[in-house]
């Protein structure tokens, strides 16, 4: 069950990355603002998660971390699609 939730949260993060990279970039002037918001939220989540001594006790923290990893992975995939 935990493995299924982890994979689902990872794919949810990948889906959020596609949303975050396409919707604000339609106007062209929101790319800097949206990227700074994404980086700030990423760093805040990192600070909160990795200051805990045992992350394995909290299921919600693992799911949030997997969503964060999915967002980062999705943004890298979008960057490679734009670069080619």
Statement: residue 84 has pLDDT above 70: no
Instruction: Please give the residue range of the domain that contains residue 16.
Output: 2-83
Q: Per the structure, how many domains does the chain have?
A: 1
* Residue 12 banded pLDDT, cuts 50, 70, 90: very high
pLDDT digits (tens, 9 = 90+) for 34-70: 778 888 988 998 898 888 777 677 888 889 889 999 9
Distance CA 16, CA 68 (A): 9
Q: How far apart are the first and last CA of the chain?
A: 38
More confident residue, 35 or 75: 75
> In the prediction, which pLDDT does 25 show?
63
Residues 6+ apart with CB under 8 A from 17: 70, 71, 72, 73, 74, 75, 77, 78
Mean pLDDT of the chain: 83
Q: In whole angstroms, how far apart are CA 20 and each of 26, 33, 54, 55, 65?
A: 11, 11, 30, 27, 17
**Which two three-digit tokens encode residue 5?**
């939730």
Grade residue 75 by pLDDT with cuts at 50, 70 and 90.
confident
């Amino acid at each position: 069950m935990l493995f299924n939730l982890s994979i689902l949260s990872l794919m949810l993060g990948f889906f959020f990355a596609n949303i975050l990279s396409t919707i604000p970039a339609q106007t062209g002037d929101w790319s800097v603002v949206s990227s700074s918001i994404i980086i700030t939220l990423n760093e805040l989540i990192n600070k909160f998660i990795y200051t805990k001594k045992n992350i394995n006790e909290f299921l919600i923290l693992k799911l949030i971390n997997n969503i964060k990893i999915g967002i980062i992975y999705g943004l890298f995939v979008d960057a490679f699609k734009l670069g080619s």
